[in-house]
A and B are shown apart, each in its own frame.
Chain A
Amino acid sequence: MRIIEADLNKLKEKINLMGSLTQDAIEQTVKALVERNTKLSEEVIIADDKIDTLENEIDKLATDVMVLRQPAAGDLRFTITCLHTAGIIERVADHAVNIAKHIRVINNEPPLKPYVDLPKMGVITREMFGDSLQALINGDTNLARQTIRRDDEVDELFHLIYDDLLVIMQSDPTTVKRGSELLFVIKHLERMADYSTNICEMVIYMMEGKVIKHTQEAF
């Protein structure tokens, strides 16, 4: 086996673990929101330390691979992808933590209205992240491209919920606090979906050597 292979395998394992933990964080935070389960949201906050630690470990390992193994071609693109993606995944996890913190406030007040679109947005965001992670681990550019296209669904739901919340808050000022918290929540979900598309862009770079970030293909 090539010397670099063991390091690349380790990088892949760590990215996979970091991604899985973040996927759990998204799932739990959406569940905590929909089921008004504050205890579950606290668990998301606590679990984030492990994700942060993994980001540092991946950064160090990827840097070591660059300096000590001097990767080229596919190995180089994989290492660069891990380095970038670890940072992206960490930010996704931070958004999950931020939602969890908003849940603390939201759950201290009566429900604003039965959630319909919000769980839908949560599910699509979680699926997008899960698919982007699958695409990354399997080098699946078809799945990456499909996932990028789903971002429009999340954006649409964001605007729909945003408009709903504005109407509710305008009609009843006592809902402004809860409404504002929910505005933050949907913004966090929308950003998570954006980050999933960024991961997919890195998958396309990794597999095809093409940078599609900030190009038409990314939209």
Chain B
Amino acid sequence: MQATSKGKMENISQEPKPQDQQNQPSTKIEIEAENLNFFYSQKQALYSINLKVPEKSITAFIGPSGCGKSTFLRTINRMNDIIPGTRVEGKVLLNNQNIYAPTVDVVDLRRRVGMVFQKSTPFPKSIFDNVAYGIKINKLSSSRAQLQQMVEQALEQAALWSEVKDRLNDSALALSGGQQQRLCIARTLAVMPEVILMDEPCSALDPIATEKIEELIVELREKYTVIIVTHNMQQASRVSDYTAFFLLGELIEFDETEKIFTYPKEKKTEDYITGRFG
């Protein structure tokens, strides 16, 4: 399985053929997993994952519950480190640097590789403070004016500015579900990440809010590398350039999204996306 996947990944790094020809992802590899194994105590959750994600592209991770897609996502910014008893073997490279090397500053890594969760998690603070929080603790601004400018920019990028610019001091908890999720995206963008990981970011949202987030994800590709875990296969096919299918902790197939959804190479992928699985 790994050998075939590796072959495909090499193809991708040479000749990416994205859905949107006008906004092509780069051929440069931003994230690379090398023989990655992951364990929750004795239980192995990921088996020898090899994957190369090009920069400024959108990659969707799909697969049934418990297949390891979220676990793998969390290895990319070491979010699993906070779970006791977990263990990693192999490498995850971010721009050719192993993020599991002992010298890596995990706080800085999580700034560079931001994360948006399934459930929006605004702080019980004002809209402004939610976005300003990361900028302040990372000491990214040198003046109040610069801070304001960075907050505005992040909210603009998250397509939320026009909706909240007149009520920046209101509680973030008063925003709608979709707005709260975009606020969380703004909070992630504010600290100038390189990669954005999204773990089912729309699963709690209605179709209109979902569409806004999806439009936003596509826009973010211009500046960021985005990886999204989703159970919604239509969402994966709508927004992503590449799709990775996971099953029982293994990467079964990784290819251009268009290929995965029209002519997957692996029978297991075909069975899953056509609902024959199980």
Contacts and interface: CB of A to CB of B under 8 A. Distances in A.
A139 interface: no
Nearest to B260: A73
Interface string A1-26: 01110000000000000000000000
Given A70-B234, A73-B270, A2 B276 contact: yes
A209 interface: yes
B274 interface: yes
Interface string A165-209: 000000000000000000000000000000000000000000011
Most buried by B among A70, A71, A72, A75: A72
Contacts of A71: 274
B103 interface: no
Interface string A60-99: 0000000000111111110000000000000000000000
A75 B276 CA distance: 11
A77 B263 CA distance: 8
A76 B234 contact: no
Contact of A77 (B234, B237, B262): B262
Given A2-B275, A2-B276, A72 B263 contact: no
Contacts of B273: 72-73
Contacts of A4: 274-275
A155 to B, nearest CB: 31
Nearest to A69: B275
Interface string B254-278: 0000000111100001100111100
Nearest to A76: B262
B232 to A, nearest CB: 11
B261 A72 contact: yes
B233 interface: yes
Q: Give the interface centre of A2, A74, A75, A209 by most chain B CB atoms within 10 Å.
A: A74
Interface residues of A, number: 13
Interface in B218-270: 233-234, 237, 261-264, 269-270
A70 B232 CA distance: 12
A140 to B, nearest CB: 18
A74 B270 contact: yes
A75 B263 contact: no
Contacts of A70: 234
A201 to B, nearest CB: 15
A73 B275 contact: no
A74 B270 CA distance: 7
Nearest to B271: A73
Contacts of B237: 72
Given A71-B274, A72-B262, 11 more contacts: A2-B274, A2-B275, A3-B275, A4-B274, A70-B234, A72-B274, A73-B263, A73-B269, A73-B274, A74-B270, A77-B262
24 contacts: A2-B274, A2-B275, A2-B276, A4-B274, A4-B275, A70-B234, A72-B237, A72-B273, A72-B274, A73-B261, A73-B262, A73-B264, A73-B269, A73-B270, A73-B274, A74-B270, A74-B274, A75-B274, A76-B261, A76-B262, A77-B262, A77-B263, A208-B263, A209-B262
Q: List 7 tightest A-B contacts by C-beta distance, closest first.
A: A209-B263, A72-B273, A73-B270, A72-B261, A75-B274, A2-B275, A73-B274
Interface of B: 233-234, 237, 261-264, 269-270, 273-276
